[in-house]
Amino acid sequence: MLTGIRIVEFEALGPAPFAAMHLADLGAEVIVIQRKGGETNPAKQGPRLLDRGKRAIALDLKAPTDLDTARALIRSADGLIEGLRPGVMERLGLGPDDTRALNPGLVYGRMTGWGQHGPKARQAGHDLNYLGLSGALFYAGLPGQVPGVPPTLLGDIGAGALYLTVGLLAGLVQARATGRGTVVDAAIVDGAQHMMALLRSLGPQFDTGARGRSLLDGPHWSRCYVCACGGHMAVQCLEPKFYAQFLDTLGLGDDPGFARQFDTAQWPVLTARLAGIFAGQSRDHWAAQFDGSDACVAPVLSPDEAARDPHMVARGHGAGAALPAPRFDGAVSVPGPVPDPGHDGAAILRELREKGWL
């Protein structure tokens, strides 16, 4: 879908390389500028799945010759991704004002937690901090308990990388139409706050401002239950027709205690009753009971278990990294390989010289 688009990525951690991988999965040519001399951060010592489908060149951006190469790459690119603290790219002479002179049509994507300005802009932070300040962490837990720690997918990817991807694509559309580039300020706090609009738009029944009293975190029909084996089942049958199927599957369809689905006074009592029921059988038992039902109940699987689940297997997923998403015309694309560090450096330099960029 993005064949012909070139993105230059400055190596960072977390959401920025994920966004670049996402664009590579969609067909863009992504050249990642890695730090010459290797990476000692333990967060980068894994299988480097986020580099799949990219080309890699190692540069020392404090060396004049390598800095010239970075500038040449920027002149040749449609978009740029950086996930460094505010001010770092400017100190390298590669900030938006510097690159605009090199390439007026460049879409300059900036990925941070706090944003490019504001009292916290230059402070360190992580996923949980951004979610906490934005209000998105408020409902992450049961009544009387401290908020839980959601997987970093919620902030880094949902509120961060995907917002950066959307911003870059919007900027590329404008640049194609006008020849003018733009700066995309993608901040996780902004994305998390923006996502909260869905919940707040549903009215006070969904967003009461008090934990344990909303349709998000209070009901007996919207939580996880422990099973006899120690596993868990995820239940969230909001609509009455799905709630009715849930009760019927458990043999509770005629139980008057469960008749008033939205009676908040009954939620704690009914939660305790359901906890006792689910605790009486294994997770596999309950998964089989609800299989094929519209009761909106699913087992909580580990990543390894999910890779073996029939539905996930039918969708083409397996034990390795997930397939690219979304899909177009039903086709499943195959992600490109992960390059060795600096693998494409010689070829990239040759191409830049041949095309007059360097």
CB-count burial class (<10 Å; 0-12, 13-18, 19+) for 304? exposed
Q: Which of 258, 278, 300 is the last residue of a domain?
A: 300
Are 34 and 163 members of one domain? yes
Does some domain include residue 133?
A: yes
Are 148 and 38 members of one domain? yes
Asked whether residue 39 carries a pLDDT value surpassing 90, the answer given is: no
Does some domain include residue 293?
A: yes
The whole-number average pLDDT for the span 278-284 is 98
The whole-number average pLDDT for the span 119-142 is 90
For residue 42, what is the domain's CATH number?
A: 3.40.50.10540
Are 133 and 248 members of one domain? no
Asked whether residue 44 carries a pLDDT value surpassing 60, the answer given is: no
Are 241 and 169 members of one domain? no
Does some domain include residue 317?
A: no
Q: How many domains does the structure of the chain reveal?
A: 2
Does some domain include residue 216?
A: no
CB-count burial class (<10 Å; 0-12, 13-18, 19+) for 51? buried
Are 86 and 170 members of one domain? yes
Are 16 and 160 members of one domain? yes
**Counts of helices then strands in the chain (DSSP H, E):** 13, 9
Are 186 and 237 members of one domain? no
Asked whether 243 and 263 are in contact (CB, 8 A), the reply is no
- For residue 173, the model assigns a pLDDT of 98
Does some domain include residue 201?
A: no
Are 72 and 187 members of one domain? yes
Does some domain include residue 322?
A: no
Which residues on neighbouring strands pair with residue 183, listed in sequence order?
Answer: 108
Asked whether residue 45 carries a pLDDT value surpassing 80, the answer given is: no
Does some domain include residue 243?
A: yes
Catalytic residue numbers read: 126, 156
Buried-exposed string 184-223: b where 16+ CB fall within 10 A, e elsewhere: bbbbbbbbbbebbeebeeeeeeebbeebbebbbbbbbbbb
The whole-number average pLDDT for the span 5-15 is 96
Domain membership of residue 282 as a residue range: 222-300
Are 227 and 133 members of one domain? no
Q: Which of 285, 300, 315 is the last residue of a domain?
A: 300
- For residue 205, the model assigns a pLDDT of 67
Token pair 């990476």 is at which residue? 39
- For residue 42, the model assigns a pLDDT of 47
The whole-number average pLDDT for the span 155-164 is 96
User: Tens digit of pLDDT for each residue in 216-265?
Assistant: 778 999 999 999 999 999 999 999 999 999 999 999 999 999 999 999 88
For residue 268, what is the domain's CATH number?
A: 3.30.1540.10
- For residue 40, the model assigns a pLDDT of 46
Higher pLDDT, 336 or 282: 282
Are 255 and 345 members of one domain? no
Does some domain include residue 61?
A: yes
- For residue 141, the model assigns a pLDDT of 79
Are 153 and 248 members of one domain? no
Are 264 and 132 members of one domain? no
